[in-house]
Amino acid sequence: MEYLGQYKAVYKAKSGCEDILAKSQDGGIVTSMFAYALETGIIDGAIVAGPGSEPYKPEPMIATTVEELFEARGTKYSISPNLALIKEATRSYGLDKIGIVGTPCQIQAVRKGQLYPIGLRDVPDKIALAIGIFCMENFPYQGLFQMVEDHCATKIDNVTKMDIGKGKFSVYTERGVNSQIPLKVTHKYEQPGCHVCLDYVSNMADISTGSVGTPDGWSTVFVRSAAGEAAFNKAVEAGWIIAESMDGVKPGLELVEKLATEKITKNQAYLEHRLHKDHPALKPLRNPYI
Amino acid sequence: MGLLDKLKGLLFGNETVREGKQDAKPGVKPADTKVEQKPIITKPKEEKPVADKITVGHVHMSGCTGCLVSLADNYEGLLTILDKYADLVYCLTLADVRKIPKMDVALVEGSVCINDECSMEEILETRENATIVVALGGCACYGNTTRFCRGGQQNQPQHEGFLPIGDLIKVDVYIPGCAPTPQQIRNVCLMAYLLLKGNDEQKALATAYLTPLMNLAAAGTEACGCDLMTEVINQGLCCGCGSCAAVCPVRAVTMQFGKPQIERDLCIKCGACYAQCPRSFFSFDVCGQYESITNLIGEVMKP
Ligand SMILES: Cc1cc2nc3c(=O)[nH]c(=O)nc-3n(C[C@H](O)[C@H](O)[C@H](O)COP(=O)(O)OP(=O)(O)OC[C@H]3O[C@@H](n4cnc5c(N)ncnc54)[C@H](O)[C@@H]3O)c2cc1C
Ligand code: SF4
Ligand code: SF4
Ligand code: SF4
């Protein structure tokens, strides 16, 4: 399972709070974990993808109350530069124990920032809980807009939920599933930087979560670090999270691993291709990994 | 022993170095730039020298002392470093040693004024005397604000040419940023210690850790917010994480539609944004071990 990273435990889980589940993307793990951590002082604020100036255009936001966490529920399939607030959180917000949610690349940026704090004075030891979400790809807002308005023929203002799963991009309005397009159609709108990404399930997070692997309404959760384990176990004990064994769950870890392997081998091949070894007349493109 | 006594002992390194300094020939600074460096503490209280410490010096070229302040801002952490891992054998601001001695690691702050003979001599001596030369901070790495100097300033109006140290000597490691952070300086010092004094496993870790900072040093002496465009976005690598915007000391970087937008006139060329970017360099070997490395740093920094 090398593509799934190191983890101490994996669960099928969901929030123990109906209010959270009412508008969460999947099992409401991210919102529940942060809400529990806020209430118990594990964190004193969390950087989340809040609502922005346009529908489904996320804007990084520092939530210091459960109400603010609620505003950020649900996946926005566009770029939310959550790291942009990581220093500010310790300055004007005065946070000492930061929670942050991010895609795998953003969690990588958190860890790089902790070990190489080139411009992150006094930040490294203030990251208390980094929750990673699974991520196959992300879309610049203009691309997402085109997917929804042109391909799905839906006004983005009317959308109540977007979801990627079972090979489809689905757009929901108040009337339910309004439109679905095959993921194939969306590929050309992907952020180019996603094509060199070598992480699917946020291997470097304290806890990582996504929908793949578990039935609708539930989430798959990897508990990875000591800090993640302590927080998760306490949240389960306190009833904020309901966690069950992954044994026998369908489609289960097998599917998670299959998708992780597909993503990473494809992107490794692309990184290799970028070196242009087959085309000596082309200079190589830059490879960030060492 | 009180903290101050401890600091006194530590700031002066070990006796032999002090003796070496007394043999040294007097400095060759021109009379008008000669500044009597009053050491903060005149009577060092020596602790037993620890045999396997490394020797570190701070070489002050044309910089604002912000880098040195950052080093000092490790507070008790600095004492731990000086206590267990490194002797500060040269540091004009803090220790009474005038001539650049032999040392394992030279932390060079500031760019070099090529119109000043003394500076030119000192940067050469630094290279000749140090095993590892670290460019400490944006000015030493990339020129930073001194890139914008055109001379005419008091009291040396003729000083107009300033170069990042890498344009004059070979530099081994870069610590970009304005100012560089206390934690980044601490990490480089600890890794340099492990590299020179550690066991095989520690040497391997230190090498893996320092390699990207060595690569930055090998890559050149020019930095700008534009690197985010030319080396990241133009190369199809940006993931929109926002790290660049977080670290810019002059807030020249904002995020628009998930990509950095650089206010180029504000940029002071410190190199922090590009170095912090996860898509400038990223080591799975190092970052994947963040938990154990963080624990290790916590452990070794215990007083
Ligand atoms: C671009 C993208 C691609 C994804 N791809 C997959 C996938 O391939 N497979 C899979 O299983 N899961 C994927 N996910 C994760 C999934 O959609 C859910 O976000 C995850 O399961 C968390 O759901 P939840 O109910 O626990 O969280 P909620 O309680 O609903 O909270 C969601 C949290 O995610 C944050 N968030 C929302 N959008 C973003 C964003 N764009 N960037 C950063 N943070 C954000 C919010 O701030 C909020 O705190 C993806 C998520 C994103 C953003
Ligand atoms: S695919 Fe990778 S690079 Fe793209 S948003 Fe997801 S984690 Fe980031
Ligand atoms: S944009 Fe900001 S961080 Fe980047 S080099 Fe310029 S001043 Fe430094
Ligand atoms: S730091 Fe993040 S947002 Fe900035 S250029 Fe690098 S990848 Fe893009």
Q: In the prediction, which pLDDT does B26 show?
A: 40
Residues A72 and A210 in one domain: yes
Which atom belonging to ligand 2 lies closest to the Cα atom of A263? 1
Q: In the prediction, which pLDDT does B18 show?
A: 36
Residue from the list B240, B247, B286 with its beta carbon closest to the beta carbon of A118: B247
Q: Which residue of A has its CA nearest to B270?
A: A119
Does the CB atom of residue B275 touch ligand 3 within 6 A? no
User: Distance, CA A262 to ligand 1 centroid (Å)?
Assistant: 20
Q: Determine the distance in angstroms separating the CA of B143 from the nearest CA of chain A, rounded to an integer.
A: 16
Question: Atom 2 (ligand 4): residue with closest C-alpha?
Answer: B241
Of A263-272, B32-41, B130-139, the least confident: B32-41
Neighbours of A113 (CB within 10 A): 26
Q: In the prediction, which pLDDT does B7 show?
A: 41
pLDDT at B300 over 50: yes
Does the CB atom of residue B272 touch ligand 3 within 6 A? yes
User: Distance, CA A83 to ligand 2 centroid (Å)?
Assistant: 14
> Three-state SS across chain A?
CHHHCCCCEEEEEEECCHHHHHHCCCCCHHHHHHHHHHHHCCCCEEEEEECCCCCCCCEEEEECCHHHHHHCCCCCCCCCCHHHHCCHHHCCCCCCCEEEEECHHHHHHHHHHHHCCCCCCCCHHHEEEEEEECCCCCCCHHHHHHHHHHHCCCCHHHCCEEEEECCEEEEEECCEEEEEEEHHHHHHHCCHHHHHCCCCCCCCCCEEEECCCCCCCCEEEEECCHHHHHHHHHHHHCCCEEEEECCCCCCHHHHHHHHHHHHHHHHHHHHHHHCCCCCCCCCCCCCCEC
Residue A35 within a domain: yes
Q: In the prediction, which pLDDT does B4 show?
A: 35
- Strands (DSSP E) along B28-172, which ranges? 54-60, 86-91, 103-109, 112-113, 130-136, 162-163
| Distance (Å, whole) CA B255 – CA A18 | 35
Which atom belonging to ligand 4 lies closest to the Cα atom of B273? 1
Contact A81 B258 (CB under 8 A): yes
Which residue type, as a one-letter code, is found at position B118? C
pLDDT at B257 over 70: yes
Contact A86 B246 (CB under 8 A): yes
Q: Determine the distance in angstroms separating the CA of A17 from the nearest CA of chain B, rounded to an integer.
A: 30
Q: Please report where in the chains the tokens 């023929």 appear, as a residue.
A: A153
For an interface test with B, the pick among A47, A93, A118 (most B C-beta atoms closer than 10 Å) comes out as A118
For β-strands A127-133 and A98-102, DSSP reports them as parallel
| Distance (Å, whole) CA A102 – CA A130 | 8
> What's the average model confidence in pLDDT over A278-286?
96
Is A204 part of the contact surface with chain B (CB cutoff 8 Å)? yes
Partners of residue A82 in chain B, C-beta under 8 Å: 241-242
Q: In the prediction, which pLDDT does B51 show?
A: 57
pLDDT at B75 over 80: yes
Percentage of the residues of chain B whose pLDDT score is greater than 90: 80
Residue A280 within a domain: no
Residue ranges in chain B assigned as alpha helix (H): 3-11, 15-23, 66-72, 76-80, 117-129, 138-142, 182-197, 200-219, 227, 243-247, 272-276, 284-287, 290-300
- Test site for ligand 1: of A10, A14, A23, A25, most ligand atoms within 8 A of the Cβ: A25
**Number of domains observed in the structure of chain A:** 2
- Please, what is the end-to-end C-alpha distance for chain A in angstroms? 22
| Distance (Å, whole) CA B191 – CA B183 | 12
Tell which residue, B186, B189, B181, has the closest CA to residue B105: B189
Do B231 and B215 form a contact (C-beta atoms < 8 A)? no
| Distance (Å, whole) CA B213 – CA B174 | 5
> What's the average model confidence in pLDDT over A80-93?
98
Task: Return all residues near A41 (Cβ < 8 A) that are at least 6 apart.
Answer: A97
pLDDT at B38 over 90: no
CATH T-level topology, domain B54-222+286-300: Rossmann fold (3.40.50)
pLDDT tens for A182-233 read 999 999 999 999 999 999 999 999 999 999 999 999 999 999 999 999 999 9
Q: In the prediction, which pLDDT does B5 show?
A: 40
User: Which pLDDT band holds residue A1 (cuts at 50, 70, 90)?
Assistant: low
Tell which residue, A259, A289, A269, has the closest CA to residue A112: A289
CATH code of domain B226-276? 3.30.70.20
Stronger pLDDT, B25 or A87, i.e. the higher one: A87
Residue A287 within a domain: no
Do B137 and B180 form a contact (C-beta atoms < 8 A)? yes
Neighbours of A140 (CB within 10 A): 19
Residues A182 and A227 in one domain: no
Kind and range of the H or E run holding B259: strand B259-262
> What's the average model confidence in pLDDT over A21-48?
98
Tell which residue, A14, A76, A119, A19, has the closest CA to residue B250: A119
| Distance (Å, whole) CA B248 – CA B113 | 26
Is the pTM above the cut of 0.80?
yes
Residues A113 and A206 in one domain: yes
Identify the nearest ligand to the CA of A197 by its number: 2
Do A212 and A220 form a contact (C-beta atoms < 8 A)? yes
Partners of residue B248 in chain A, C-beta under 8 Å: 119
Q: In the prediction, which pLDDT does A43 show?
A: 98
- Count Cβ neighbours within 10 Å for each residue of B15-43 and write b for 16 or more, e otherwise: eebbeebeeeeeeebeeeeeeeeebebee
Which atom belonging to ligand 4 lies closest to the Cα atom of B245? 4
Q: Which residue of A has its CA nearest to B294?
A: A115
> What's the average model confidence in pLDDT over A166-177?
93
pLDDT at B2 over 80: no
Is A138 part of the contact surface with chain B (CB cutoff 8 Å)? yes
In chain B, list all ranges with CATH 3.40.50.700.
54-222+286-300
Identify the nearest ligand to the CA of A196 by its number: 2
Q: In the prediction, which pLDDT does B224 show?
A: 98
Do A289 and A271 form a contact (C-beta atoms < 8 A)? yes
pLDDT at A145 over 90: yes
Residues A249 and A113 in one domain: yes
In chain B, list all ranges with CATH 3.30.70.20.
226-276
Residue A89 within a domain: yes
3-class DSSP assignment, residue B131: strand
Complex ipTM value: 0.97
Contact A138 B276 (CB under 8 A): no
Which atom belonging to ligand 1 lies closest to the Cα atom of A101? 44
Instruction: Name the average pLDDT for chain A.
Output: 97
Residues A130 and A223 in one domain: yes
pLDDT at A246 over 60: yes
Partners of residue B284 in chain A, C-beta under 8 Å: 198, 289
Q: Please report where in the chains the tokens 């560089």 appear, as a residue.
A: B180
Does the CB atom of residue B228 touch ligand 4 within 6 A? yes
> What tokens does A190 get?
């992907």
Partners of residue B294 in chain A, C-beta under 8 Å: 114-115, 124
Enclosing domain of residue A157: 139-189
Is A119 part of the contact surface with chain B (CB cutoff 8 Å)? yes
Partners of residue A226 in chain B, C-beta under 8 Å: 291
Neighbours of A270 (CB within 10 A): 14
Residues A154 and A24 in one domain: no
Q: Please report where in the chains the tokens 């099928």 appear, as a residue.
A: A12
User: Which pLDDT band holds residue B49 (cuts at 50, 70, 90)?
Assistant: very low
Residues A168 and A220 in one domain: no
Residue A74 within a domain: yes
Is B225 part of the contact surface with chain A (CB cutoff 8 Å)? no
Residues A167 and A116 in one domain: no
Is A188 part of the contact surface with chain B (CB cutoff 8 Å)? no
Q: Determine the distance in angstroms separating the CA of B169 from the nearest CA of chain A, rounded to an integer.
A: 23
> What's the average model confidence in pLDDT over A127-137?
98
Question: Atom 3 (ligand 3): residue with closest C-alpha?
Answer: B248
Residue B31 DSSP label: G
Q: In the prediction, which pLDDT does A2 show?
A: 82
> What's the average model confidence in pLDDT over B14-23?
36
Is the preceding omega at residue A117 within 30 degrees of 0, hence cis? Answer: no
Highest mean pLDDT among B7-11, B19-23, B159-163: B159-163
Residue from the list A87, A108, A140 with its beta carbon closest to the beta carbon of B278: A108
Cα–Cα–Cα angle for A98, A99, A103, nearest 5°? 130
Contact B183 A285 (CB under 8 A): no
Residues A206 and A269 in one domain: yes
User: Which pLDDT band holds residue B65 (cuts at 50, 70, 90)?
Assistant: very high
Q: Determine the distance in angstroms separating the CA of A18 from the nearest CA of chain B, rounded to an integer.
A: 31
> What tokens does A148 get?
């929804």
Contact A116 B276 (CB under 8 A): yes
Contact B239 A103 (CB under 8 A): yes
| Distance (Å, whole) CA B217 – CA A237 | 50
pLDDT tens for B52-61 read 899 999 999 9
- Please, what is the end-to-end C-alpha distance for chain B in angstroms? 13
Residues A236 and A270 in one domain: yes
Residues A26 and A122 in one domain: yes
Q: In the prediction, which pLDDT does B275 show?
A: 98
Q: In the prediction, which pLDDT does B103 show?
A: 97
pLDDT at A268 over 90: yes
> What tokens does A13 get?
């889980």
Task: Return all residues near B123 (Cβ < 8 A) that are at least 6 apart.
Answer: B59, B61, B108, B112, B165, B168, B169
Partners of residue B288 in chain A, C-beta under 8 Å: 203-204
Q: Determine the distance in angstroms separating the CA of A174 from the nearest CA of chain B, rounded to an integer.
A: 27
| Distance (Å, whole) CA B253 – CA B233 | 14
pLDDT at A40 over 70: yes
For β-strands B253-256 and B259-262, DSSP reports them as antiparallel
Contact B237 A193 (CB under 8 A): yes
Of A172-176, A196-200, B26-30, B69-73, the least confident: B26-30
Residues A49 and A157 in one domain: no
Is the preceding omega at residue A128 within 30 degrees of 0, hence cis? Answer: no
